[in-house]
Amino acid sequence: MCRLLVFKGTQPIQLCHLVTRPAHSIINQAFDSRLRLDATRAVNGDGFGVGWYDSSPDLELGNAPCIFTSVTPAWNNQNLCRIAEKIKSPLVFAHVRASTAGALSETNCHPWRYGRLMWMHNGQISDFGKIKRRVLESLNQDLFLFPQGHTDSEFAFAVFLSHLENPLQTQEFGYKQLRKAMLDTINDFNNWSRQAGIVEPSLMNFCVTDGQSIICTRYVSSKTDQAASLYFSSGTSFYEHTQGTYRMVKTDKREKIIVVASEPLTFEKADWMEIPTNTLVVVTAKMNVLMMPITDEYAIQSGEQGLVKRDPQFALGRGFPPSMNNNNHHNNNNNNPAVMVQAQAQTTLNPINSVAPAENKIQHNHLHLATAQPLAHALRPVHDNFF
């Protein structure tokens, strides 16, 4: 069971406010996951990685992210603590690893980069060995040689790159191109698994960025199972009001900070919203947040709402705790956390991936997310003491 974190802000933040200082920082999640229900599985001690972009890109140094990885446990790495106190960035990826595939080595630690792109994954491609040959055959020579490690996650990145016309371009890609490549990547793995006769679902919580736009997915290739957990928070500032205790403060309707994480970094219920299973999240360069259901064969259709329920046991049994949502709560819009988005681009997404006019202010669960639920309901049925 890995844990991941994505941060994007209009102003750079010290890495320590994300990875070391919060009482439930991603480092603490490495050994004290509040969503870990399977006590028999190992802690996330198989390495970690942090990737970030410069606040002001240097023409000489280029626009590629810097990535620091180590195979030591994140909570026991003094270099990480020192670096986190001295580095600021407006866009950060962080990941702690509990290996499900690949040996313990730095080449197997997330995130990875290719040009200006950065990628990480929480989950597993089921029976990856049975489809690895198909994956390799789909790659051109450059991408065939790209993976240095042995994880399904890094090969998934190579597949994603294969869907970009020029993955080494220096200009930003834009969220539409990244979104399409992400959906094509998921579709590829579903097709390969089907062709190989694999029946066990794959857990594909992917995150990718070009330094401007971000795409995240919470996904499982199943119609009856939940995906690994993923949460969202946004606000004006991420404030440490007492030592180790943070709040997402909202003093403006415009979002200045956006966080996507496997587990909440704070213990405030109103700060976080659960991202529904089989949903794609877009964070645009202008800090707009767009959410869309992934409408493939594993989507629950409108006529099936209430008839088909997703079971948490599959993800849980493989060490990837899903949300604690028991699917008995159907909340109205007023119960959702105050996560408003100023839609500067004046567009939002509908379930068939087209672009349509939108209101200036849109609430996330208006974006065809009838199953979106507040964090309080997502966690309380099992872990009431989380908060």
pLDDT over threshold 50, residue 65 = yes
Q: How many CB atoms lie within 10 A of CB 137?
A: 8
pLDDT over threshold 90, residue 8 = yes
Looking at the DSSP bridge assignments, the partners of residue 249 are: 237
Q: What is the mean pLDDT of residues 263-283?
A: 92
Strands 273-274 and 214-218: unpaired
Q: Check: CATH 3.60.20.10 for 3-386?
A: yes
The phi, psi pair for 372, rounded to 5°, reads -65, 135
Identified catalytic residue from 2, 16, 109, 207: 2
Q: Quote the CA–CA distance of 119 and 112 in Å, as a whole number.
A: 5
Read off the pTM.
Answer: 0.81
With the CA atoms of 223, 265, 175 and 331 taken in that order, what torsion angle do they form, in degrees rounded to the nearest 10? 50
Least confident of 8-12, 111-115, 380-384: 380-384
Q: What percent of the chain has pLDDT over 90?
A: 53
Asked about 16 being catalytic, the answer comes back as no
Ranges of beta strands (E only) in 155-288 are 203-209, 214-218, 231-235, 237-242, 245-249, 257-261, 273-274, 279-283
More confident residue, 167 or 335: 167
User: What is the pLDDT, as a whole number, of residue 137?
Assistant: 97
User: What is the pLDDT, as a whole number, of residue 103?
Assistant: 58
CB-CB contact of 67 with 111 (8 Å): yes
**Termini Cα distance of the chain:** 21
pLDDT over threshold 50, residue 341 = no
SS3 119: strand
| Residue-level length of the chain | 387
pLDDT over threshold 90, residue 318 = no
DSSP code of residue 301? P
pLDDT over threshold 80, residue 347 = no
The phi, psi pair for 331, rounded to 5°, reads -90, 150
pLDDT over threshold 80, residue 322 = no
What ranges do the domains of the chain cover?
A: 3-386
User: 82-128, pLDDT tens digit by residue?
Assistant: 999 999 999 999 999 655 554 567 889 989 999 999 999 999 999 99
Per-residue pLDDT band for 313 (boundaries 50, 70, 90) equals confident
Q: Quote the CA–CA distance of 372 and 327 in Å, as a whole number.
A: 11
User: What is the pLDDT, as a whole number, of residue 2?
Assistant: 81
